[in-house]
Amino acid sequence: MSAKDGKVVTVVATLGHGDKTQEISYTDIKVIGNGSFGVVYQACLCDTNEIVAVKKVLQDRRFKNRELQIMRSLDHQNIVKLKYFFYVMGERKEDVYLNLVLEFVPETVYRVARRYTRQKETIPMIFAKLYMYQLFRSLAYIHSKGICHRDIKPQNLLLDPSTGVLKLCDFGSAKVLIQGEPNVSYICSRYYRAPELIFGAVNYTCQIDVWSAGCVFAELLLGQPIFPGESGVDQLVEIIKVLGTPSHEQIRDMNPDYREFKFPQIKAHPWPKVFRAHTSPEAIQLVAKLLDYTATKRLRPLEACLHPFFDELRQEGVTLPDKTPLPPLFNFRSDEIQANPEIIAKLIPTYLSSQVPGTDAPLEDGSGSGGGVGDRRSSLLESVVTPSATTVRETATGPTPQISEVPLSTTEENAATRSRHSSGRRSPETQQQS
């Protein structure tokens, strides 16, 4: 794919949602990312002058592309939008490339956090609240559809600095998890891998995303990864330094097939001592509820949104430091409400719900942006959302599990920094599963 010197590329593409095809033209193409998955370009749509990202991946003709199937099933303000997709032939006649045309979002949590770290500052707490709340909203949405992202990390959290909106991206590792069906454990980027993955579990749940989100949150508070490691064993050591040695029961919960229990007995490090002085007690409490060895004891995404740490976002009149209004945070869609009616009823601030006289009146978000949610706070209990995304099988077999290692490839972003902190921990290097 090339369009240097203002040349225009024209293709027939399918809409991200629906089966309608149309001719699209784009220009000003430049590479903005690459890895084992393929290449990401930035381009400009000629008809609208809209900037988009085009993710180009080699398509295996034998299978449907799982990322495409999942992205076509998603529609949420905190998830990057699939606008079009199309296929092109490679240089070899047997090669076919899938191109995903996505909305372009200019920043990432990774880059924003790094800028604060370089200045020896931590990210302002209002931004930590805003970013984590929106991440949990996106996770609640995909988890309600049975979809596990399996690669939550700061690099995959896109930010629009002009609005404060966060969008989850890169569903190349995502999968619909079906109870009883095994899944590969060599998934998720280093530093953000849940302990059950390190223990080689193949029957994990969507709660591995919650662990990863907890690692992202802790990193925002610390200014550096909380559990770095050069290998699976090394990373497990870092986790044990903080959480203490897992009990036999906790190890069985993580992976019933794991038989090696030879770990030194180390006591848990008090959470307040893990973080800097004056770190919000509510923030520390939330981290502790996300980073638990036992997946079922971790908060679920919307339960995390209810945590007192986010209460400031629910106060009337709160703005960003530059007085910019907060982005819509309470404009829950009908499918979000149907999936978690009781929790969402608690999430809507009193000052908003009290403004709605009728049960079906539209609810404004309080940030100046309208949000389409009715105030039917208790009448939606009978409705539920069922998983609908296409399932693509993957096999996971092997002998008695050992500590799981992850194949790694360094990306341009992740190699940019090698700073060490007091315990000699390194800055993140991550892998992208093909």
Write out the DSSP string of 278-316.
T--HHHHHHHHHHS-SSGGGSPPHHHHHTSGGGGGGGST
Among the residue ranges 288-292, 294-298, 299-303, 319-323, the one predicted with the least confidence is: 319-323
Answer yes or no: are the C-beta atoms of 298 and 210 closer than 8 Å: yes
C-alpha 179/C-alpha 193 separation (Å) is: 20
User: Are residue 235 and residue 296 in the same domain, yes or no?
Assistant: yes
Q: Which pLDDT does position 354 carry in this prediction?
A: 63
User: Annotated catalytic residue: which of 47, 151, 209, 375?
Assistant: 151
Three-state secondary structure call for residue 132: helix
The verdict on whether 311 is a catalytic residue reads no
User: Are residue 26 and residue 170 in the same domain, yes or no?
Assistant: no
- Domain of residue 300 covers 107-312+388-416
**pTM for this predicted structure:** 0.83
336 alpha carbon, distance to own chain's centre: 17
As a whole-number percent, the residues of the chain with pLDDT over 70 amount to 80
User: Are residue 288 and residue 141 in the same domain, yes or no?
Assistant: yes
Once rounded to an integer, what is the mean pLDDT over residues 151-165? 97
Residue that terminates a domain, selected from 103, 120, 154:
103
Q: Which residues are annotated as a binding site for ATP?
A: 56
User: Are residue 142 and residue 53 in the same domain, yes or no?
Assistant: no
Residue that terminates a domain, selected from 85, 103, 121:
103
Buried b (16+ CB within 10 A) or exposed e, 156-195: bbbbeeeebbbbbbbbbbbbbbeeeebbbbebbbbbbbbb
Give the max Cα distance, the chain: 64
CATH of the domain at 255: 1.10.510.10
Residue that terminates a domain, selected from 48, 69, 103:
103
User: Are residue 188 and residue 255 in the same domain, yes or no?
Assistant: yes
Q: Which residues are annotated as a binding site?
A: 56
Answer yes or no: are the C-beta atoms of 165 and 411 closer than 8 Å: no
C-alpha 243/C-alpha 241 separation (Å) is: 6
Answer yes or no: are the C-beta atoms of 28 and 18 closer than 8 Å: no
Per residue in 24-80, pLDDT (tens digit) is: 999 999 999 987 789 999 999 999 999 999 999 999 877 889 999 999 999 999 999
Per residue in 105-142, pLDDT (tens digit) is: 999 999 999 999 999 999 999 999 999 999 999 999 99
Q: Which pLDDT does position 5 carry in this prediction?
A: 53
Q: Which pLDDT does position 262 carry in this prediction?
A: 74
